[in-house]
Structure 1
Amino acid sequence: MEKRIINPWQWQDERSYNQGVEVKQIESTLYCAGQAAVHPDGTSSDADMRTQLLLAIHNLEQVVSQAGFELKNIARLNVYTTNHPEFFSCFDIFTEWIAKNEIKQVSTVVEVKTLFETLSVELEATLVK
């Protein structure tokens, strides 16, 4: 797989995403359903945003690992949140995780009215290798 990052500007660098990602010579693609703060027994978390974000990241990592991909294979990572200010109050978790795993992705952050039950953040990823 060959990944080329397209950034006509530099301002997005501080926000941990890219304007475009071109991927060539793909072996396979993994489309992940939105991963949220759902515990292994299927119950939804009612914790704060920071705790839910950490659990959503953990759940995404499990899906990616079980599929035989690496986190750096993420090409698109969309974030759905019920509260933009709360999400951005713990954005450091997100950006540190992106940097630590050398993820070079395009992203969209969308505030939605509700997510399932008590969930406040959901991560939807597309990976290539």
Structure 2
Amino acid sequence: MSVAAQHQKQMEKKIINPWQWQNERSYVQAVEVINPKATLYISGQTAIDAHGKSSTEGMKTQLIKTIQNLEKIIEEAGFECNNIVRLNVYTTSTDDFFSCFDIFQNWISGHNIQQASTVLEVKSLFETLKVELEATVIR
């Protein structure tokens, strides 16, 4: 196959879900990516402002700011949120995170994101931070 023909192939995402229960939890079991043009690996994003100051707010406010920061990175890189294929969540309290899980789920469904995902409770994050989102996005 010629190089020109290879470049004309469209990127495809194939979702692998042997079960249905994960659908209520806003993630998929696996994502196969065929013919990606580029992959963006994003460092964990948190509720840090443009001047590098960590938020001291609660989980809900930090989650909203963290999502905004993640979107900014994706946009600046010329990618789209709907092409997030992996999204890991690190939180200092899964109870607090799941208490505002609707914000996360609404963001996921609003962008039609279908991502492999892991949620981990950690002892601490940088300074006063409560949640961190680490993503892989394809184009």
Q: Quickly name the TM-score band, shorter chain normalised.
A: over 0.9
Q: Structure 1: which amino acid aligns with 2:128?
A: T
Alignment match, 2:27: 17
Cα displacement (A) at 1:7: 0.3
Post-superposition offset of 1:96: 0.3
After superposition, residues 1-129 of structure 1 pair within 5 angstroms as 1-129=11-139
Distance in 2 separating the partners of 1:20 and 1:31: 17
Note the aligned Cα RMSD (angstroms).
0.3
Structure 2 distance, partners of 1:45, 1:96, is 22
TM-score using structure 2 length? 0.92
Structure with higher Rg: it is 2
The alpha-carbon deviation at position 24 of structure 1 amounts to: 0.4
Aligned-partner residue type, residue 12 of structure 2: E
For the residues of structure 2 that align with 1:13 and 1:97, how far apart are their CA atoms? 15
Distance 1:15 1:46 in 2: 28
State the alpha-carbon separation in 1 of the partners of residues 82 and 94 from structure 2.
25
Alpha-carbon offset, residue 125 of structure 1:
0.2
The alignment partner of 2:104 has SS state of helix
Query: What do residues 54-97 of structure 1 show as CA deviations (whole Å, max 9, x unaligned)?
Result: 00000000000000000001000000000010000000000000
Supply the distance in 2 between the matched residues of 1:36 and 1:126 (Cα, whole angstroms): 15
Amino acid at match of 1:110: L
- Inter-partner Cα distance in structure 2 for 1:84 and 1:95: 15
Who is 2:6 aligned against?
Answer: none
Structure 1 unmatched runs, 5+: none
Structure 1 runs of 4+ off > 2 angstroms? Answer: none
Query: Which secondary structure does the structure 1 equivalent of 2:67 belong to?
Result: helix
State the distance in 2 between where 1:127 and 1:87 align: 23
Give the length in aligned residue pairs.
129
Distance in 2 between residues matched to 1:84 and 1:75, nearest whole Å: 22
